[in-house]
């Protein structure tokens, strides 16, 4: 008998084990509510059953019931305090509801330069979860720890770019010029400064050049955007996405032939939505011959 379990008796323990096995199988199939029911039956027999608490946490996390997931993971961690899998999962649930400081504590991290890689992962998780303001708050704290890390400044710039669009709803994925409001412009100018800081640290940083180009394009500084995308392409010449954005910047500068040439160089079936978007832009500018050439 493992020391982290209560001792309900051999027969009852076998029954609890069977419930956990069935719950784990249901969880793997995506039958989340039924899995929780099985784990609860195991816990009714053995309230110290680690796998049952962790299984409940995993199910609740997939159901986006973060509060119950946190509770379940904390119960699991009371049984196995050093289990990194439950600790990381609990931190993810905490991040999902903006409890960044609690997530840092659960992971036993401190705001210290030695913990930067792990803290950056938390910021990335906040960013990928759409928690942009929380991600920015954490990254700003990280810049105070180490202002010489270009990656931190790139992430800050990316977060600010996302914040500039945060009230515009979901995007279709098609590249389009958009017109940010005053708040959006403010975020974008902050993003440009962040990418500029990254480039002062690492002049060959591809993500910083591309990010600065994207932010400059969004505020319709086409000259700076074209310069940044050109720099990015000297580092990664095969990036079709950057080539398309470069073409948009050239269109803004009135260099239509050059833009069409670049698009033709990198055209691919996956680029079709963006090529149509460029064609529509040319039509809106009454550049009919150029649009026909592109189509």
Q: 77-93: per-residue pLDDT in tens? A: 999 999 999 999 999 99
Mean pLDDT, the chain, integer: 85
Domains in the chain, start-ordered, CATH in brackets? 1-108 (1.25.40.10), 110-140 (no CATH), 147-295 (1.25.40.10)
**Long-range contact set of residues 125-130: C-beta below 8 Å, sequence gap at least 24:** 125/92, 125/95, 126/95, 126/100, 127/155, 127/158, 127/159, 127/162, 129/95, 129/96
pLDDT band at 277 (very low <50, low <70, confident <90, very high): low
In which region does residue 259 sit, left (phi positive, over 0), alpha (psi from -120 to 50) or beta (all else)?
alpha
pLDDT band at 105 (very low <50, low <70, confident <90, very high): very high
Q: pTM value?
A: 0.75
Cα 102 to Cα 90, 106, 109, 224, 287: the distances in Å are: 10, 6, 10, 41, 56
pLDDT at 181 (0 to 100): 86
pLDDT band at 262 (very low <50, low <70, confident <90, very high): confident
Is the pLDDT reported for residue 74 higher than 60?
A: yes
Average pLDDT over residues 195-212: 96
pLDDT at 156 (0 to 100): 96
B/e letters for 259-274, b = 16+ CB within 10 Å, e = fewer, are bbebbeebbeeebeeb
Contact predicate 168/194, CB 8 Å: no
Is the pLDDT reported for residue 147 higher than 60?
A: yes
Nearest to 158 by CA among 183, 182, 126, 181: 126
Is the pLDDT reported for residue 243 higher than 80?
A: yes
């Amino acid at each position: 008998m493992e020391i982290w379990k209560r001792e309900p008796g051999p027969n009852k323990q076998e029954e609890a084990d069977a419930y956990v096995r069935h719950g784990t199988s249901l969880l793997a199939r995506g039958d989340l509510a039924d899995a929780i029911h099985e784990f609860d039956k195991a816990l009714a027999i053995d309230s110290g059953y680690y796998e049952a608490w962790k299984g409940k946490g995993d199910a609740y996390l997939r159901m986006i019931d973060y509060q119950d997931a946190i509770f379940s993971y904390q119960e699991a961690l009371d049984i196995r305090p050093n289990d990194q899998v439950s600790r990381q999962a609990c931190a993810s649930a905490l991040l999902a509801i903006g409890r960044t400081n609690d997530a840092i504590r659960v992971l036993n991290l401190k705001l210290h330069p030695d913990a930067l890689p792990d803290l950056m992962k938390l910021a990335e998780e906040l960013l990928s979860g759409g928690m942009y303001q929380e991600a920015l708050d954490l990254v700003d704290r990280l810049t105070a720890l180490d202002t010489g890390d270009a990656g931190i400044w790139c992430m800050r710039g990316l977060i600010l770019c996302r914040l500039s669009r945060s009230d515009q709803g979901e995007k279709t994925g098609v590249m389009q010029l958009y017109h940010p409001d005053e708040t959006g412009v403010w975020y974008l100018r902050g993003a440009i400064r962040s990418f500029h800081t990254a480039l002062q640290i690492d002049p060959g940083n591809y993500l910083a050049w591309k990010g600065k180009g994207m932010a400059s394009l969004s505020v319709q500084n086409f000259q700076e955007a074209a310069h940044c995308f050109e720099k990015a392409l000297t580092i990664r010449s095969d990036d079709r996405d950057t080539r398309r954005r470069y073409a948009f910047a050239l269109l803004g500068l009135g260099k239509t032939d050059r833009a069409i040439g670049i698009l033709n160089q990198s055209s691919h079936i996956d680029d079709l939505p963006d090529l149509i978007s460029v064609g529509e832009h040319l039509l809106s500018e009454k550049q009919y011959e150029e649009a026909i050439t592109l189509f």
